[in-house]
Amino acid sequence: FPSHDKAALLRKLEGRRPGTACKVRAWKLSPWSKTNELDTVVHMNSKGERELLAIVFTDAVGSSSQTALDEDKSLSMLMADLDSIRNEAAARGGSVLKNTGDGLLISFKSAVDAIECALSIQKAFQVRPRGQGFQHKIGVHIGDVIKKDGDIYGTGVNTTSRLVDQC
């Protein structure tokens, strides 16, 4: 079945036991080449569905200490910053999966979109007047994740989190 036929894929996977693999035959169509048939293995397990994603973590620098000094102003600035990050991610096809308090966990299907989003966020925050928002550390990683209940887990997520700590 064509790779864009999600209903056919779901029918094929329906009823599979957790922990089993299912071979799926798909076709890649491109305007510059003939149809290429691809074999893909979709792995389902009881923990969730595995997927390769571009993962982005953001973290507001110094938000805890600033909030201790002036909670109302800090929270207002932080909410505005997080709204800006959400909007930029959405414009580039990202999905915000979690608010971490002073940052966001975002997933992208495309590594290019994830990097362009991170760069765009940093450029936008760089030109605003000092004191109008927080500086943000942003980590980007491509990794295998486990998707379950609208969240992602696994080594790919942990690695991205560690990258932010190194910024």
Q: How much is the pLDDT for 95?
A: 94
Task: Summarize pLDDT for 141-167 with one digit per residue, the tens.
Answer: 999 899 888 788 888 898 998 988 888
Query: 94: exposed, middle or buried (C-beta count within 10 Å: 0-12, 13-18, 19+)?
Result: buried
**pTM for this structure?**
0.70
Whether 135 contacts 58, CB under 8 Å: no
> What are the φ/ψ torsions at residue 103 (nearest 5 degrees)?
-165, -175
Task: Summarize pLDDT for 33-76 with one digit per residue, the tens.
Answer: 344 434 344 445 557 788 899 999 999 999 999 999 999 999 99
